[in-house]
Structure 1
């Protein structure tokens, strides 16, 4: 065997043994990502259901009660109380007992039967934009549907032709028909957890060795800096690939994330992505003197990388000047590969740009980190 391969194998074996012996590090590398995936997968939920609703029925007729009952028949709005007036409804919104208040005015039934157009007031708590938007849309859609049904009933009663809507919308949801939050969020969470684990643990691991003097002892041996760096990175690279496999298995088994695309393509993208995350961790370690400095440096990189990746909020919703910054964020491209491949069965012709960017980032970051490592090892 070539002497360089012997040295490389020796460093890898040493790193593996050291990592396995440290139970805290092993827990952070294997158990912690799975626990966080479970917690975040269930906790992060943008599905809006069972919005607490109060009703103020000032008409108290058969028509008003039927309208309120039909409006609350689905799972979007849940009736919490029937109140006497609008002031009581506003108080319910203010103290958080309700997020929506439906106010049916007096003479509601008379206006409906006369065909004069009855009005229903909906008071919505706008402090939660996602919930208020979905609730407002549900109320508006039901009002339009109810109006169409009343017009058709009146036309049949008068013996005239039933009016038809000039346009009929038939939505067809692709890739995530049930609009499940978990299916959309879990791939992004996997990318986020992989970033945290590999970057922070890599940076803190090397900083710990520098504090204890272990790194200096290795640097005075005949080992070349390149072999030393490669041997230290390899175990974390393998653990990162294993973590992704576990995350995809849990996502498919527990959260129903489909695995439609090529797992080989996902593995290649993961390898390029790990070069970036481990390279950043190595770079942080070379400029840190203590583990505390390495942890802070990793946190300062991880937080903006996650926020600007599209994991939680879409990039298209960001200001134009901020969206430009996301083009230099490898997390963005890895999330696009995961969602595109797993959910849409996108292949290499669809995702080659993301793969090229991941490979470029990985090569550049690892090269810069290697140069810094060589200088600090000299």
Structure 2
């Protein structure tokens, strides 16, 4: 029991320190509410119909019944009918739709003959969550169609295959590499520059830097450029490792990727500077940067 008193005193001391720091207390209390509000606003709405393209190479009556089953499922909105697979794939690549559903030639004949057949969903793997949702919805709609059509045409089976506009398949490494790059360009520079200035302020070295024979713009841009170089080096190393070690393929022009990455880097560093200006200590800076 002798250790309960000191432990209680330490707990009370830390609680009082937290209550005396309104910025940290506000961050602790509001961060969960803000995160939940963002998730609700992003995922809480009713699911809308996903735009797709239909490529009906069969053009038989049964294939059009399948198209109607897809349309009436409530999951899809058919925005275009393409004449060829290449045309449908190009529409997906341009962003006109999230997927193209390809019904091959001989589809109706295979069903009338009781043979197995297939349809192909060409997905945009850049939207990993949506592409998975599209494929699952296509499978469900096809199963409903098979159940209804089997009463009219006998037993048959339709296999729902999936491909991507980037090739037969996209690995999980290809999918999460872009996420890692985004997190790297967002959190790393923001956290580094925010915590760095807060650390100098706590150690009283920031005042010495201000008294040096340099202007405030030199101080700001010195910090800015230094951490920009560090983050760009991290980005290049990560991208090189993904491409040469993990075999990730980069689609699209490399200058455009670098331009977007640099723009995101500048925004993250700017927000980090703003956080450092309003933070009194490293804890506040770290909490705000992670948030």
Pairwise TM-score range, normalised by the shorter structure? 0.3 to 0.5
Q: TM-score, normalised by structure 2?
A: 0.46
Q: Which has the higher contact order (CA 8 A, sep 6+)?
A: 1
